[in-house]
Amino acid sequence: MAIWLIRADANGSYEQKFIEDGRIYVTLPGLSVNLAILPDRDGLSQAMTRSYAAESPRRLNSLVNQIWPFAHEMNKGDLVLLLHAQKPAITVGEVTSDYRFEHAAVDPFYHWRSVNWIATDVPRAHFGRDLLLSLNSPLAFSRISRNNAGQRLAAMRAQDWKPEPAAVFDETSDELIEGINLEAFARDQIARIITLHFNGDSLTELVAAVLKARGYTTSRICDGLPHGGILIGSGTLGFGFPRVCAQVLMTDAPVDRPALDALLESAAKFGAQEVLFVSWSGFTAPVRRQPAADFFSVRLWSSQELLEELAASYGLLDDAIKARLQLKPIWISGAQEP
């Protein structure tokens, strides 16, 4: 069993199509040649040179090395890790068909394989540090073979995708670091720390500390609040506006709409005008597609938003919280190579 990493596209706009269709696609626009009839990689390289004459030889070679395995090396039973562009989560699928070419398909969905999605929105923080390095490869499609990935993912699957134990982490090597997205890797590492040291009710403590650093007054001691509830007021004593009722959950499943509606009911009882729902595992599609009427009353933080808020307020956090996180801010260049 091989392990494959795939990205639907840079912005994640095709991810829902992948999931709803039960397929993975090559999403390179204009590639309308049947890959199955090409004799070898050189044949694909020649076809792509004709179709993408403006691309550099280096870029074309990279594309060939990603596209050829999709058609000729992937097998039924292999696992596919679909990386989500807008949330720190991975959807896992099992390949169930050979390569297919559909000339009448809408561009760029000519090339596909059927997939049985076996796990949705597995937090990236559940994967060991060395596997996360591979997951931060900039390639749209690649095979993961380092660090006994197949056996470890099989073990995670048997444990319903619970976090890997910290003991499996391997030391980072220069070979692995080269070419990865260091910002994404650092974010994954911080998420892993929070998963290990702020699980369960402790996550509520972290969120309260972030809100305090932003100048709010919070209270976690109040009958009638939902599990993980926080009352949030503005100003030193908390008597100002807005008045917010928050709920913080670290569960294995995304939060659904009934949970949000229950929080809105609790907020009304306490006279809060707004609600903040923090769900480490994110939210189901009906919740994310919240109606416009909720815009002025509801804010949703998944792990991604919480990490952004944590980074923005880290210097103002209580020393006790910073001691548990043990983070060190650094600067890296965001400039592209010429």
Cα 91 to Cα 85: distance, rounded to the nearest angstrom: 11
Q: Same domain for 274 and 159?
A: no
Last residue of a domain, one of 129, 164, 197: 197
Count each helix (H run) and each strand (E run) in the chain, helices first: 12, 12
Q: Are 306 and 215 contained in the same domain?
A: yes
Distance, CA of 99 to CA of 35 (rounded, Å): 9
Question: Are 294 and 192 in the same domain?
Answer: no
HEC assignment per residue over 58-119? HHHHHHHHHHHHHHHCCCCCCEEEEECCCCCEEEEEEECCCCEECCCCCCCCCEEEEEEEEE
Which residue is listed with tokens 């907020």? Answer: 267
Mark whether 188 and 206 lie in a shared domain. no
* pLDDT tens track, the chain, 338 positions: 899 999 998 777 899 999 999 999 999 999 999 999 999 999 999 999 998 999 999 999 999 999 999 999 999 999 999 998 877 789 999 999 999 999 999 999 999 999 999 998 888 888 887 787 778 777 889 998 887 889 999 999 999 998 887 645 444 444 444 455 667 777 878 888 888 888 878 899 999 999 999 999 998 766 667 788 899 998 778 888 888 999 999 887 788 999 999 999 989 888 898 999 999 888 887 888 777 778 889 999 988 899 999 999 999 999 999 988 888 877 776 655 44
Where in the sequence is the domain holding 175, given as residue range(s)?
Answer: 3-197
Which residue, 135, 165, 197, sits at the end of a domain?
197
> What's the pLDDT score for residue 174?
43
Q: Are residues 242 and 175 in the same domain?
A: no
- Are 131 and 222 contained in the same domain? no
220: in domain = yes
pLDDT of residue 177: 46
Residue 17 is predicted with a pLDDT of 94
**Given 156, 172, 197, which residue is the final one in a domain?**
197
* 333 in a structural domain: no
Q: What are phi and psi of 98, to 5 degrees?
A: -75, 175
Report field, pTM of the whole predicted structure over 0.75: no
Specify if 154 maps to a domain: yes
Say if 12 falls within a structural domain.
yes
Rounded-to-10 torsion of CA 166, 168, 171, 177: -90
**Inside any domain, residue 224:** yes
Same domain assignment for residues 40 and 131: yes
Domain of 116, CATH number, reads: 3.10.590
Residues 162 and 254 in one domain: no
In a domain, 282, yes or no: yes
Q: Are residues 52 and 174 in the same domain?
A: yes
Query: Do 213 and 189 share a structural domain?
Result: no
Quick check: is 332 in a domain? no
pLDDT for position 167: 46
- Does 189 fall in a domain? yes
How many structural domains does the chain have?
Answer: 2
**CATH at 319:** 3.40.1350.10
Q: Does residue 207 share a domain with residue 191?
A: no
Same domain, 171 and 244: no
